[in-house]
Chain A
Amino acid sequence: MPKRLQHALRRAMRSLWENAYLNSVSTGVIAATVLLFGVYLSVQFNLNRMVDTWDRDIHISAYFHPDVPEQRRFDVRDDIAQRTEVEQVRYVSAEAANQWMQQRMPAMESILEELGTDTLPASLEISLTASAARPTSIDGFARTLSVTDFSDVDYGQEWIEKFEGFLSLLKLLGAIMGSLILVAALFLVMNTVHLVVYNRRNELEIQKLVGATDAYIVAPFLVEGLTQGLFGSLLALFGLAAVHQLLVERLKDTFELAINSELQFLPGTYIAALFIAGSILGVGAAFLAVYRFLSKVS
């Protein structure tokens, strides 16, 4: 290891020890910021997963005109089944649809009987392949279905689009809030580091007078900032794991659902992003604080 780096590490460790209280405050602020960022990432990650799952579950219900003959319906089904973007096509007769309705709504059995067997039209239940089952492509596919054969085509597009719009809004709000929190945290950590710098101003001035370069003076503060950033991120990760566990337990009790498989903890790349964010916060704040001091000292 180069001597200068050894010196910087030794001086950083010494300063961390000598200014333990202020360094703990900086670490705490970084941990709180990274935790907030982690919660935001966690919410976004799980909502995105949910939308992906729903996207995969989307299927098209195409309802035949009542006057389309049965043989024509089978021909149309076979034509659609040939298309590359189609995974599966199931023909549902009017009888089967009405039977299904009666089973699902036993309370309305008498009304349905009065209405007759042709309340619900015959339909095709079309499942698309994973690549084609995106809201944009599913819309395109639906438009290709013949209007002479089908009276209505339904695939829950509007709802999904609205939800995706909500997610985009959430992302935008998250980005704005995240930026504000990041700036506030940067300011807080910077001022805490500035207090450490102020405590050591005489020493730093002497270092300058005996020929220390700015890099020599800044280096241990950057190491301190990095240490605070990594340690703060680690604390935040523990906090996030605790929040996640608590949430899973609560939702399980409330909804009696297998939430565990629905709500997932952040994957490795997101955790790495949290550590990077914490490190940038620590190092950036330290750099700005020391740079502000050095610019005033000749």
Chain B
Amino acid sequence: MIRAYHVTKRYGDVHALRDVTVKLGKGEFCYVTGPSGAGKTTLLKMLYGSVTPTEGKLLVGGVDISRLSRRRLPYLRRNIGIVFQDFKLIPSRTLSENVGLALEVLGTSRDVINRRVNAVLSIVGLRGRGHEYPMTLSGGEQQRVAVARAIVNDPSILLADEPTGNLDGAMAIEVMEILQAINLRGTTVMVATHDTGLMNRFPFRKLRFEAGRLVES
């Protein structure tokens, strides 16, 4: 599902990633871990096309990101769900509207959007609360809405950048359980985190980075 061949990313003289080669199969769950500035977020940004490699080749679902045009990028992203540490929800939109956004951009009909949104809100434990606004929810609930938005169009890859970074222990476990459930349905999940407690509680493959180098795979 994801293949990186000697991928390097430089910002001027600073190396964010150095010569990274890694493969991730379909339906796999893995952590991207390491200290701050190790290159975790850069790798994730590359996978959803926000950053392009300086050198090397990066294939996501068979698509070469390094050669992808700006015009084709949205179509790649429709196959990737993304969850951020700060949730990135739109405060002026209801939960249903926030979650439905990923389907709305595809031109999906209102009926289908409503059906799908209700289904994913049930998966993340927020059934019947679609009319509420993000600011009325707890951090854990907001992150669950963000996860719902990431999976509403049934993507084959789910990328989560420090999804539990702003959550306390119990809420972090709730979110991880949801990500695990999504993975069990066949979605490839990649989670960037440096929370060792969480990684021990939910043991999966780890890609450990240090100063941009992949040191454990």
Contact = CB atoms under 8 A, between A and B. Distances in A.
Interface of A: 3-4, 7, 18, 202-203, 205-214, 216, 298
Contacts of B106: 211
Contact of A3 (B49, B75, B109, B149): B109
A245 B82 CA distance: 61
B54 to A, nearest CB: 15
B90 A211 contact: no
Contact of A210 (B75, B92, B109, B149): B149
Contact of B90 (A4, A7, A206): A206
Contacts of A203: 90, 92-93
Interface string B99-111: 0011011111100
Interface residues of B, number: 26
Interface of B: 48-51, 71, 74-78, 82, 88-90, 92-93, 101-102, 104-109, 149, 153
Given A202-B88, A298-B51, A207 B107 contact: no
Contacts of B48: 209
Contacts of B75: 211
B90 A210 contact: no
29 contacts: A3-B108, A7-B104, A7-B107, A202-B88, A203-B90, A206-B101, A207-B101, A208-B74, A209-B48, A209-B82, A210-B77, A210-B78, A210-B82, A210-B101, A210-B102, A210-B105, A210-B149, A211-B74, A211-B75, A211-B77, A211-B102, A211-B105, A211-B153, A213-B74, A213-B105, A214-B74, A216-B105, A298-B50, A298-B51
A206 B88 contact: yes
B52 to A, nearest CB: 9
Contact of B105 (A18, A202, A205, A212): A212
A4 B107 contact: yes
A208 B102 CA distance: 10
A144 to B, nearest CB: 68
Nearest to B78: A211
Contacts of B76: 211
Of listed B71, B92, B104, B109, residue having the most chain A CB within 10 A: B104
Nearest to A18: B92
Given A4-B107, A206-B101, A298-B49, 12 more contacts: A3-B107, A7-B104, A203-B90, A207-B101, A209-B82, A209-B88, A210-B82, A211-B77, A212-B74, A212-B105, A214-B74, A216-B74
Contacts of A207: 101, 105
A207 B75 CA distance: 13
A4 B88 CA distance: 24
